[in-house]
Amino acid sequence: MEGYKRMKLLLIFLTVSSVATSASPWLPMDGNYPGSYCLSWRLAIETNNVRAWRTVPIQCMRYVEVYMLAGQYDRDVQLIVEQIRVYLSQIVLPGDGMDAWIFDVDDTCVSNVFYYRLKRYGCDPYDPTGFRTWAMKGESPAIQPVLELFNELIETGFKVILVTGRDEETLGQATQENLHNQGFTGYERLIMRTPENKKHSATIYKTTIRKQVVEEGYRIWGNVGDQWSDLQGEYSGNRTFKLPNPMYFVP
């Protein structure tokens, strides 16, 4: 965790220094193109009005970098977690052990921002081999507000189920170890892609998994993910909460 903090502080310093010594054309605060365009673009993708986008517009690379590293992303995640807590305060659990909460893994529980820094924050096309190599290292740091929420849910009595699009055969052990090392312990189960659902879209795959969970008798009170495909489809849960992610889109 200390290594993560040092690296992030270094990246923030380099980002802010770069912005401060330039004419600041990338900052969203100036109200001019391309900053204002990138702000509008991020709003459009987060609201799912722009779909199936493949890469971040090159003119928005600096904008995404500043957003992810200079504090606004952290504040946005914290606000969403606070809203989840408001919702949780209204729930009275029956106490039969069948109350479930679903979490995605990548950029929901753990962050891949250091990997995507090498991919120009999503301006480069998705590289499955490169990402697999990164994930095998097990170095994705916890998104701290989500980790705190995760622990609160378990202490409250929810069965937390992690559903990820990662391949179980190649990334199963590395993912479990990464989660454990970052403090994600005590969850009910970790569900990963198998050969049977490897070719399914994320929406179909995750809907199928949630259907199985409901058929087992669980009540899905909440569902948290960074992609719309984590949350769309049937059996999505009583409430869904989307975390921001302007770096990539998973259909």
Q: Which residues pair with 242 in a beta bridge?
A: 225
Residue 24 has pLDDT above 50, yes or no: no
Supply the pTM of this predicted model: 0.88
Residue 236 has pLDDT above 90, yes or no: yes
Q: What is the pLDDT of residues 102-158, one digit of tens each?
A: 999 999 999 999 999 999 999 999 999 999 999 999 999 999 999 999 999 999 999
- For 189-239, the three-class secondary structure string (H helix, E strand, C coil) is EEEEECHHHCCCCHHHHHHHHHHHHHHCCCEEEEEEECCHHHHCCCCCCCE
Strands (E), 53-134: 99-103
pLDDT band at 35 (very low <50, low <70, confident <90, very high): confident
As a whole number, the mean pLDDT across the chain is: 91
Distance in angstroms (rounded) separating the CA atoms of residues 22 and 76: 26
Is there a contact between 231 and 47 (Cβ–Cβ < 8 Å)? no
In the chain, where the domains are located: 35-242
Which pLDDT value is given to residue 1? 55
Q: Looking at the domain covering 35-242, what would its CATH class be?
A: alpha beta
Distance in angstroms (rounded) separating the CA atoms of residues 166 and 243: 18
Residue 131 in tokens: 């990402």
